[in-house]
Amino acid sequence: MTPETPQYLVFGELRRDYLITPDRKVMADQPGGNLLYAVEGAGLWLDETEKVGVVARVGEDYPREWLDLIADRGYLTEGIQIMEEEIDLRSFRAYTDLRTFYTDDPVGHFGRLGLTMPRSLLGYSTKALQRKLREMTPTSLRKNDIPPNFQHARAVHLCSMDYLTHTLIPPEIRRSGVEIVTLDPGPYMLKENWEEVKSMAIGLTAFLPSEDELKALFFNRTSNVREMVEEIASWGVEIVVVKRGWQGQMVYHSAIKRAFELPAYPSKMVDPTGAGDVFGGGFMVGLAKTGSPIQAAMYGNVAASFAVEGSGAFYTQDALPGLQQARLESLRTSVREV
């Protein structure tokens, strides 16, 4: 049987999520990671004949039933490489309110709520996640991780990952003829990495940083977000989208040198985990389908509006059929030029 060719690809990380939600619910050892959130944001907008391929690395200890679950949701999983070693993919996040969360000291956070910490979180430390800029991580992706049938996709989204993955993968996929490459930058967005970020961003279709990431990169250069996006666009980036959480997004289109703002769709927020990743997946599909940066941002915005209404990587697509189109139409009148 000839392998299917996906129209869309998402590169990212699969994680084992441990979450204390804003309403103090505990989700322990659940399938997560930015890859799952992003692919669900993309999947919300697929036609029946369209497929998304996923590319990631996991250890031999990653639950096989979770891989089956990803495949059962219709995603092509040939790009998930199972390494012959164990890889610590645990990720912890504890909210104190809807806008404040912490990723360290799980013992303290469970104790604060009078809860027993899962034994499987023993030994967890964010220090293990800290790497040098040009250091390969166990989950870093290489060109050989991309299956041959994945190399002719229409659009690709790279989730927040390490610098080397973001440096090596985009040129490879562009050489294979992929027209649209969108990228959510990683923790390397710091002022001391200015030149490295600049060289990495050249040639991207869309660059999707958060406002905090932008400010960290431009520290002591400018505090004006419009100046920031114009500078990044001058590096050879077609579209810059600034993610502002509950405040929505700013979209800058370099071809026409105009910027627009979209408010976040007014959904009832329960858990913001993964909303930015869901936005990225929806944005990629929206851009491929419409060719419009504004419409693409609306696709991502609406996808994120579903994600925040519940918890877990697979909550986004629990929406009633057709509701995403209604929200899309409602959002159109809220876009304004800035």
Please report, in tens digits, the pLDDT of each residue of the chain (338 residues total). 678 899 999 999 999 999 999 999 999 999 999 999 999 999 999 999 999 999 999 999 999 999 999 999 999 999 999 999 999 999 999 999 999 999 999 999 999 999 889 999 999 988 655 678 888 899 999 999 999 999 899 999 999 999 999 999 999 999 989 999 999 999 999 999 999 999 999 999 999 999 999 999 999 999 999 999 999 999 999 999 999 999 999 999 999 999 999 999 999 999 999 999 999 999 999 999 999 999 999 999 999 999 999 999 999 887 777 899 999 999 999 999 99
* Residue 181 CB neighbours (<10 A): 22
What is this structure's pTM? 0.96
CA distance linking residue 189 with residue 201, whole number of Å? 11
Q: Phi-psi bin for 72: left (phi > 0), alpha (psi -120 to 50), beta?
A: alpha
CA distance linking residue 70 with residue 66, whole number of Å? 6
Which residue segments constitute the domains of the chain, with CATH numbers given?
Answer: 10-337 (3.40.1190.20)
CA distance linking residue 321 with residue 310, whole number of Å? 17
CA distance linking residue 222 with residue 74, whole number of Å? 44
Pick from 22, 34, 12, 17: nearest CA to 276 = 34
CA distance linking residue 285 with residue 298, whole number of Å? 11
Q: Which two tokens stand for residue 266?
A: 């007014």
> Residue 15: phi, psi to the nearest 5?
-130, 165
